[in-house]
Every structure is written in C-alpha cells, then in structure tokens.
Structure 1
Amino acid sequence: MDRKVILITGASSGMGKETAKALIGQGHTVYTVARRIEQMQDLESLGGYPIQMDVTNERDIQNVVDTIILKEGKIDVLWNNAGYGLYGAVEDIPVDEARKQFEVNLFGLASVTQKVLPSMRKAKSGTIINTSSMGGKMYTPLGAWYHASKHAVEGLSDCLRLELKEFNIHVVVLEPGIIVTEFGDVMLQNISAFSSKGYYASLTGKLIAATKKMYDSGRGSKATVIANTVSKIVKSEKPKTRYRVGLWAKPMVWMRIYLGDSLFDKIVMSQV
C-alpha cells in the first residue's frame, strides 16, 4: 500500500476522528489537530500524531506544518475539516459572531492550505480535501451565516482547483449530508443563544423541534460513511472534484438545482 502523510483538522470528534481511526488502521501516517487535544489521546494510542492547534491562529498552523515537514519531509493529503454551524436569524446574530464563523470555516481553511501548499508544489503532488456541506449548495432558515461560509468554501475550492492543476495537486470538495456528530448539539446551542426570543421565536421553536426530532430518531448517516469516502479519495490517483454523501445530500442538492427558488422554499419550510 502507498502510505501517505495526512493532516486532518477538526479531528477531536465526529467525522474527523472517525476518519482518522480508519486511515491510521490502513497504515497511513496521520497527524490530527484540534483545540481539544485531550479528546485525541485515543488516536495517539492507535498510532496517530495528535497536536493541539487552533485554525484561527497563524502561529499554531505554521508550527504544526513545520513540525510535520521536518519529521516526514512532506504532506501528501490535507483534509480541512474543522468547522461548526452558527445558526440564528440574520437580524439577531451579532456580526462579530458571524466573523468568527468565517474565521473558522473559511479563513482558517485558507490559512492551513496556504502553509501546506509550498511543500506540495515542490513535490508536484498532493490532495487537498475541503469539507463543505450539502449546505454549500442549498439553504435553510436561520442558517444564513453557516450557509454563507460553506458557499464560500465551494467558490474558494473551485478557484484553487484551477490554480493548482499545473502542479498536479488535486482539490476535492466533500459535501456531507446529515451526519450524526456533535454538529447538531452546537447548532442548537447557537439557536438557543441568539434567536430564542423576539420576532423569530416561532420559527426558531419549529426549527429546534424539527432538528431534535431528526437527531433523536437517529436518522442521520454514521460518520463511517465519511471515513469510507475520505479513504477512497486518499487512495485515488484522480479523485473526483466533489463527493456528496450522507442522508439527504444528493436529493436536497438535486432539488435546489432543478426545482427553482419558489418550490424549493416551500419544500424547506414544510420541514419546519
């Protein structure tokens, strides 16, 4: 097997952790980073290399990349997976909170990419996987800032793919659907904090109820579907530009593209 050096951000839980376990098990050299290093000790016991890092801290990022290059001489795969969902009405969300959403979901992703690229260009080889979402192609009420950040990831990734083609560096967009992770809990915390009162109380209550019902029923896909998909990307010499996986990912994006705004609006609102 072609063993690769892989860097995964946002690996302390959910999709990142599950995938890291799978890749370590396949014999790859896997570096995992997150703010909560205490939640990655199990990865170290499996043979991974956890390092504490905040994707919004430039010095943190540079130190991690330098450490990996010094030890391994290269980074074959970068998976920009760190992110979270800020939910609440546009009128209610403080702009400073919206900036934090973009700092993590977009600018953090871009900063890690910038610091990994010199070694990939030198090697004329590499794969960058950017975690977007089905939410990068469609929208839901009270999710404006989250969706905006993921739409931005889509645009950045498309431009980056064209820029890096001559260096034989692949850029892949991962578009998960509903995956059973901590994402739902964080989303509900944000809604409760920013939009539980006032003019949007009715809509907020309906969205909270619908979200809890969905997650409590266990209807979301397991994180293993992401692990299997990323493993496939890592192995591929010519990965696809997009991988849309998990509950609702393909049908929701299909409906957004082909049904038009008015009909899609009705479908989305019928769920809340």
Structure 2
Amino acid sequence: MDDTKIALITGCSSGIGKALMQEFLHNHIKVYAGVRNVHSLQDSEHQVLTPIALDVTKEDDIARCAEEISRRHGKLDYLINNAGFAAMGPLMELSTEQLERQFHTNVYAPVRLTQALLPSLKAANNAKVINIGSVSGILTTPFSGAYCASKAALHSVSDALRLELAPWNIRVITVQPGAIESSFGDNSLASLDGLIDDESEYAAFKPQIEARATASQQNPTSTTAFARQLTAQLLSQPSDVIRLGSGSWILPWMQRWLPTPIRDGILGKKFGLK
C-alpha cells in the first residue's frame, strides 16, 4: 500500500461535491468522484481523478464502488457523504415515495456507504468520514419539514458513528453549511412541480413555499470559497462539527437562545402562517 491519500466524494456532478473534488485534486489527493452519470465530469479530467457511477440509493452501485476501491487501493482515507436531495413542501402534501426518497438519499445512503467501505476505512488507520448535513437540521422551518428531518437524522447518525468508529481511529465529522451557491434552489423548486395545485389546502401559501425552496440561494457563499475553507480544515485538525457559509450561525442561534413561542412567531410571520 502506497502513501497516496484516497478520497471518495459523492454527488460530484455539481455544487459542493464538484467544488470539493477540485480542491482535493488540487491538494494531490486521488479522488473517486461519485456521480450518477460519469459523462457529467467530462470537463474535469485529471490524472488522479476517477469518475465512478454511483447512485447512492442503489445497493449494487455501492457494492461495486466499495469493491473497486478495496481492490485497487486496499484503503480509503476520506469518505465524503455529500449527495443529497430536498423534498420541499408542506408535509401534508408529500407522498410516501417522496418521504422515502428523502430519507433514502440523505440518511440511509451515508450509513450504507460507510458500512460497505468500513474495511477500507479501517485499513487507512486514520480515516475520516465526513457527512454533509445542514443548519436546517438544527432548526426546522415550515415547508421543508422532510428535508430538515433528514438532516437532523444525519446529524444524529454522525454522533453515533463518531463514538462507534473511534476504536478503529476513524474520525467522523459533521459539516453544517449555511447558504451555499449551487443548483440546490432550482432542484428544490423542481421537487415542487405538481405538488401545490389549485385544490391544495396550501394553494394560498405557494409563494412562501417557493421562497423556502430557494432560500439557500439568498446571498450565498460561493461553492469555491466554501470548498476551499472546508478542505483546509479537513486536511488539518478539523472540529467534530464544522459550520461554514453565509448565515450558518442564524438558525443554530435561534434554536439555542429563543424560546419556542418566539421562534414559532418569527417563522410563522415569515411564512405567512399566522
């Protein structure tokens, strides 16, 4: 086994995942870039970059990815669970399929990937598992309940893994971004397509629902700046929980210091629910 550092980053086709991929390559780390379609990385050729077909909701893809990394390197130094999905809208309007996809992508997949790659992580003898959560997992906001719940669950999963993987010298780090420039807003809006029609109980709230879906793109931190700051921390001595990006302090502050009635009053007024 050589000294080359190996990383697997999921969700590399755009946004945070692609920016982290580029920063890790810049730091001479060999990157396996997980994407659902490898052609999405045609503009990112690099001598230590290996695009790998990985739909994190498919068991066969996870098994194939873990086997390839184990066979070719025998270890994995960094696992970055970044791939995510946001099912926006009122909980009363979401289908079982949407709820299942929300948790399958944001919660079950990071656990399954960590399970499948555990032998390679143990072999690295100082590996790091980085779970990309969200400040939305700290304070739940209206019309994003499923997404907020999935990120809160991921934070809880990270807390458990941080303790359970310590005997093998595997660090588990939770990243909680604020507003980061990406296609997240567009994808969130797309998830609303057909959800709120004229017959919906929430038809009158459609502008507020759409505003919540795109909230992360209001005065966001650039993905480049975010990825540069995060990578610098991950490659040195990172904290167990890292918060970065525009507004990353606001929701945690509200959750910690404001009584529930006051928080509800602020959020209710903002989203027209009073």
Q: Could you say whether these structures have the same fold, taking a TM-score greater than 0.5 normalized by the shorter chain as the test? A: yes
The answer (yes or no) to whether the contact 1:175–1:243 under 8 Å persists in 2 is yes
Aligned to 2:244: 245
For 1:226 and 1:111, how far apart are their aligned partners in 2? 26
Q: Residue 13 of structure 2 aligns to a residue in which SS?
A: coil
How has the CA–CA distance of structure 1 residues 90 and 207 changed in structure 2, closer, same or farther, with 3 Å as cutoff? closer
What residue identity is the alignment partner of 2:256?
A: I
Superposed displacement of residue 260, structure 1: 1.9
Question: Who is 2:171 aligned against?
Answer: 170
* SS at structure 2 position matched to 1:199: coil
For residues 44-86 of structure 1, what are the alpha-carbon distances to aligned partners after superposition, in whole Å with 9 as ceiling and x for unaligned?
Answer: 3464111111101111111112112222221100000000110
Retained in 2: the 8 A contact 1:174–1:242? yes
The alpha-carbon deviation at position 239 of structure 1 amounts to 2.0
Q: Give the superposition deviation at 1:26.
A: 1.5
CA distance in 2, matches of 1:3, 1:268: 48
Within 2, Cα distance between the matches of 1:213 and 1:98?
Answer: 21
Aligned to 1:35: 36
**What is the RMSD of the two structures over their aligned residues, measured on CA atoms?**
1.9
Alignment correspondent of 2:115: 114
Superposition deviation, residue 227 in structure 1: 0.8
Q: What is the CA-CA distance between 1:196 and the residue it aligns to?
A: 4.3
1:222 corresponds in structure 2 to 222
Q: Tell me if 1:99 matches 2:131.
A: no
Quick check: 42-51 or 184-193, which moved more? 42-51
Any stretches of 5+ residues in structure 1 without a counterpart? none
Overall identity of the aligned pairs, in %: 32
1:142-181 to structure 2, matched below 5 A, reads 142-181=143-182
Structure 1 residue 23: Cα displacement: 1.1
Q: 2: distance between equivalents of 1:155 and 1:186? A: 25
Kept in 1, the 8 Å contact 2:29–2:48? The answer is: no
CA 1:260–1:35 in 2, change beyond 3 Å: closer, same or farther?
same
Partner of 2:255: 256
Runs (4 or more) in structure 1 with deviation over 4 Å come to 209-214
Aligned length: 268
**What SS does the corresponding residue of 2:93 show, helix, strand or coil?**
coil
**Using the alignment, how far apart are the partners of 1:213 and 1:129 within structure 2?**
24
Q: Distance in 1 between matches of 2:69 and 2:26?
A: 20
8 Å CA contact retained: 1:77, 1:234:
no
Q: Name the structure 2 match of 1:208.
A: 210
Question: Structure 1 residues 270, 71: closer, same or farther in 2, change over 3 A?
Answer: same
Report the Cα distance in structure 1 between the residues aligned to 2:70 and 2:214, rounded to whole angstroms: 43
Q: What stretches of structure 2 of length at least 5 have no aligned partner? A: none
Q: What does 1:13-162 align with in structure 2 at a 5 Å threshold?
A: 13-45=14-46, 47-162=48-163
| 2:249 maps to amino acid | K
Q: CA deviation at 1:269?
A: 3.3
8 Å contact kept, 1:41–1:50: no
Distance apart, 1:114 and its partner CA = 0.5
The secondary structure found in structure 2 opposite 1:178 is coil
Q: Distance in 1 between matches of 2:4 and 2:231?
A: 12
Partner of 1:9: 10
Classify 1:212/1:61 alpha carbon distance in 2 versus 1 (closer, same or farther; 3 Å): closer
**Does structure 1 conserve the Cα–Cα contact (< 8 Å) formed by 2:181 and 2:216?**
no
Normalised by the length of structure 2, the TM-score is: 0.91
- Please tell me whether the aligned partners of residues 196 and 205 of structure 1 are also in contact (alpha carbons under 8 angstroms): no
SS of equivalent to 1:112: helix
Q: Does structure 1 conserve the Cα–Cα contact (< 8 Å) formed by 2:16 and 2:227?
A: yes
